[in-house]
Structure 1
Amino acid sequence: MKPRIAVLGCGYWGSNHIRTLKSLGALHAVSDANIARAEGFASEQDCLFLEPEELFKRDDVDAIVMALPPQFHAENAIKAVEHGKDVLVEKPIALNVADAERAVAAAKANNRIFMVGHVLRFHPAFEKLKALIDDGELGTVRYIHSHRLGLGKFHTESDALWDLAPHDLSMILAITESAPTEIRGEGAAVLDHLSDFAHLHMRFPGGLKSHLFASRLNPYRERRLTVVGTKAMAVFDDMEPWDRKLAIYRHAVWQDSGHWAFTMNEPNYAEVASGMPLTRELDHFIDCIGTRAEPRTGGEEAVNVLRILTAGSINHD
């Protein structure tokens, strides 16, 4: 039996959850403060429409996917778990660490599944990259840098760092398997007081370093994660066609008579399994509901991501 899942929030990303859960046979209801919009999705997807306050009290709702403006995530997640619902909360799960910790603690106290929507952790290209790293194919990882650039989206409460960086921070934390020991942030606000450009510089145990660049005011799109190891380098480029999304470069660098030398090689493209990241993410959520296993992207990771965002945030006048 598939769990009966409701989606709270029928905006752009919530609509993707709605359609994907329907395809998985797990969509039971939709809810939104915009009643007309939610009723439209209920009619289109042949599921229940529930007003937000009613949603939490329904015995026929096993779990809730929340795709709300981030300032509303924590309070609704707490309400959901206290009513016995498992939750998948879109990123960021809160706008401060304290609220995130309260939501995660409430889920634990009520023995509920708490999962965060770090969807790129479920991208087959990233899963392949992580497997190559774990198998030692890149050697010791020394540096990771990510670029997530584009035009929009613009929010009134969250800046480019908080809106865009959680995806990459989740992947970086999965690779390093540790929290950074040093964090330095730089940002630039162009449109208003919220950063439209953001850089994060991080240092991890063992000397590994990482740099993240996020922009919502860029003329072109870039979605790239690069991992530099002692044996090889890898690039996960989500703008590339499927068969070129994960490139492995086996360049060589060495010292010769006191001087650095190097050779460059053409990339090999790793074979990447098929499958849409959101479908795989929601499949994982459904599996965790049934098995009661801790999600791959659970509450502890979500809080760690918020700690990094908080430490790297720049205040603008």
Structure 2
Amino acid sequence: MEQSTKKNIACIGAGYWGQNLIRNFFNLKVLHTVCDSDPERLKAIKANYPGISLTPEIQEVLQNPEIQGVVIATPAETHYSLAKRALISGKDVFVEKPLALKVSEGEELTNIAQNKELILMVGHILAYHPGIATLKELVAKGELGKINYIYSNRLNLGKFRKEENILWSFAPHDISVILMLLGEMPVEVSASGGSYLQPGVVDVTVTTIRFASGVRGHIFVSWLHPFKEQKLIVIG
């Protein structure tokens, strides 16, 4: 008899994006538990997803031997601490971007996962977009010649956040794609921006990147823009 490789998954966070993940894992028939501190959200999950276990307690998820993997869809500043707890508990982890808010925290999580031979995956969904996959293939085959410059715009009016700024909310998509296309890490990065709606929460940023290969790029992100635009340009 062929043994199933499917794992029981728990989703921590049932907010705006967590609801998408819950739906997808439920449709894949691997969703075991949903964890959220908001009783109204859990009530809605119970109505829409029969048979799924519900809990407001994260520790209950981490101590459950029936759960092999944890999905983290909580505010960005909690990603590091929750992912660390899940990994230490022996769970595979899928965490929404960004992985962490400090390089040292991201490196620590990576080391824990490697040492415990666990999966640690970040939700960089554009890496699986067919258009991006085709673009990567064109770059790898040299169809675009020598890559000189890459820029991206990710602009919208909203969704405004209090927990994280626009750089952490929007730019990880574009950063992940640029790094994947070039296959190298930058040697220089600078970013500047401004806060206009809430003190201390940046609404607009422009990031410039320089690579050892000579490629340069910039990333313009804003949730304070009059129209929606998602654009990635590769110049070779």
Instruction: Bin the TM-score by the shorter chain.
Output: over 0.9
1:212 alignment counterpart? 219
Shift of 1:43: 3.6
2:192 alignment counterpart? 186
Question: Contact (CA 8 Å) 2:151, 2:218: kept in 1 or not?
Answer: yes
- Taking the aligned partners of 1:120 and 1:129, their CA distance within structure 2 comes to 12
Amino acid at match of 1:162: W
The structure 2 residue matched to 1:167, chosen from 162, 173, 198, is 173
Amino acid at match of 1:23: N
Secondary structure of the residue aligned to 2:213 is helix
The structure 2 residue matched to 1:146, chosen from 136, 145, 152, is 152
Question: Contact (CA 8 Å) 1:6, 1:61: kept in 2 or not?
Answer: yes
Per-residue CA deviation, residues 141-182 of structure 1 (Å, 9 max, x unaligned), is 111000000012222232111111000000000011111112
- Counting only pairs closer than 5 Å after superposition, residues 216-235 of structure 1 correspond to structure 2 as 216-229=223-236
The structure 1 residue matched to 2:121, chosen from 101, 115, 123, is 115
Question: Contact (CA 8 Å) 2:75, 2:164: kept in 1 or not?
Answer: no
Question: Contact (CA 8 Å) 1:3, 1:62: kept in 2 or not?
Answer: yes
Amino acid at match of 1:48: S
- Counting only pairs closer than 5 Å after superposition, residues 36-55 of structure 1 correspond to structure 2 as 36-46=40-50, 47-50=52-55, 51-55=57-61
- Taking the aligned partners of 1:188 and 1:166, their CA distance within structure 2 comes to 18
Q: 1:99 to 1:42 in 2, by over 3 A?
A: farther
Q: Which runs of 4+ in 1 moved over 3 A?
A: none
Give the alignment's TM-score, normalised by structure 2. Answer: 0.93
- Taking the aligned partners of 2:149 and 2:230, their CA distance within structure 1 comes to 17
**Match status 1:70 vs 2:83:** no
Unaligned residue ranges in structure 1 (runs of 5+): 230-317
Secondary structure of the residue aligned to 1:181 is strand
Secondary structure of the residue aligned to 1:126 is helix
1:34 alignment counterpart? 38
Shift of 1:116: 0.4
- Taking the aligned partners of 1:17 and 1:153, their CA distance within structure 2 comes to 18
Unaligned residue ranges in structure 2 (runs of 5+): none
- Taking the aligned partners of 2:138 and 2:216, their CA distance within structure 1 comes to 19
**Match status 1:200 vs 2:204:** no
Amino acid at match of 2:13: G
Amino acid at match of 2:185: A
Query: RMSD over aligned Cα, in angstroms?
Result: 1.3
Amino acid at match of 2:22: I
Identity percentage over the alignment?
Answer: 39
| Count of paired positions | 229
Secondary structure of the residue aligned to 1:222 is strand
- Counting only pairs closer than 5 Å after superposition, residues 1-317 of structure 1 correspond to structure 2 as 1=4, 2-46=6-50, 47-50=52-55, 51-191=57-197, 192-229=199-236
Question: Contact (CA 8 Å) 2:195, 2:203: kept in 1 or not?
Answer: yes
Shift of 1:108: 1.8
Stretch deviating more after TM superposition (9-18 or 185-194): 185-194
Q: RCO greater where, 1 or 2, for CA within 8 Å and sep 6 or more?
A: 1
Question: Contact (CA 8 Å) 1:29, 1:42: kept in 2 or not?
Answer: no
Shift of 1:40: 2.5
- Taking the aligned partners of 1:99 and 1:44, their CA distance within structure 2 comes to 36
Shift of 1:42: 3.4
Bigger radius of gyration among the two: 1
Shift of 1:115: 0.2
Give the alignment's TM-score, normalised by structure 1. Answer: 0.70
Question: Contact (CA 8 Å) 1:176, 1:204: kept in 2 or not?
Answer: no
- Taking the aligned partners of 2:141 and 2:28, their CA distance within structure 1 comes to 32
Per-residue CA deviation, residues 225-271 of structure 1 (Å, 9 max, x unaligned), is 11011xxxxxxxxxxxxxxxxxxxxxxxxxxxxxxxxxxxxxxxxxx
